[in-house]
Amino acid sequence: MKTAVFPGSFDPITLGHFDIVERAVPLFDKIIIAIGQNSQKKYMFSIEQRMDFIKKTFKNFPNVEVDSFEGLTIDYCRSKDVNFILRGLRNPADFEFEKAIAQTNRTLTQDNKIETIFLLTSAGKSFISSSIVREIISFKGNYEILVPDAVRV
């Protein structure tokens, strides 16, 4: 079974994230959207809220699951016996950053290769990021056009 982990903080999930998952669904038997927890990071939404947003967003996608984890993504993948990491790319800077992580992961998993699969975000969504959405929310702006319905609180 081909399973991919789509890791991130998803604080909050955006239409860009949705675009990547929706387009990856036909490529994998299962996709696990895995919310990484970092004790050093300050989140706008709790882990429970983020999981709820994602579950509601993908309620009609039977092969999409939601989970959370702490630590390295590759360790989480090993614990789930997953050999694919799904990542979205918005721009060249994303590619350079993600390429370095993917190469590091391959080096760290020489015994059990974990491949990173990159999908380009659709052009109309490539400008959306969670940090931009959080900024708009903090200033009471119209963030609703950048997120799935479940996030519109």
Q: What is the rounded CA–CA span in Å between residue 13 and residue 61?
A: 16
pTM listed for this prediction: 0.92
Q: Is 50 a catalytic residue?
A: no
What range defines the domain where residue 43 resides?
A: 3-151
Report the alpha-carbon distance of residue 42 to residue 30 in Å, rounded: 30
130 is catalytic: yes
Binding site residues, as ranges?
A: 9-10, 17, 41, 73, 87-90, 98, 125-131
Residue 41: active-site member: yes
In the residue annotation, 78 being an active-site residue is answered as: no
| pLDDT value, residue 94 | 82
Binding site members for ATP = 9-10, 17, 88-90, 98, 125-131
CA 121/CA 90 separation, integer angstroms: 5
Q: How many distinct structural domains can be found in the chain?
A: 1
Give the angle 34-11-93 at the CA atoms, nearest 5°: 85
Point out which residues pair with 117 in neighbouring strands. Answer: 86
Tens of pLDDT along 14-46? 999 999 999 999 999 999 999 998 777 889 999
CATH number for 16: 3.40.50.620
Q: Six-digit token pair at 36?
A: 């990484």
How many other CB atoms are found less than 10 A from the CB of residue 132? 14
Helix, strand, or coil here: 153?
A: coil
Give per-residue pLDDT as tens, 43-65: 999 999 999 999 999 999 999 99
Convert the pLDDT of each residue in 107-131 to its tens digit: 887 766 889 999 999 989 989 999 9
Q: Name the catalytic one among 90, 99, 106, 134.
A: 90
CB 32 within 8 A of CB 65: yes
DSSP conformational letter for 44: S
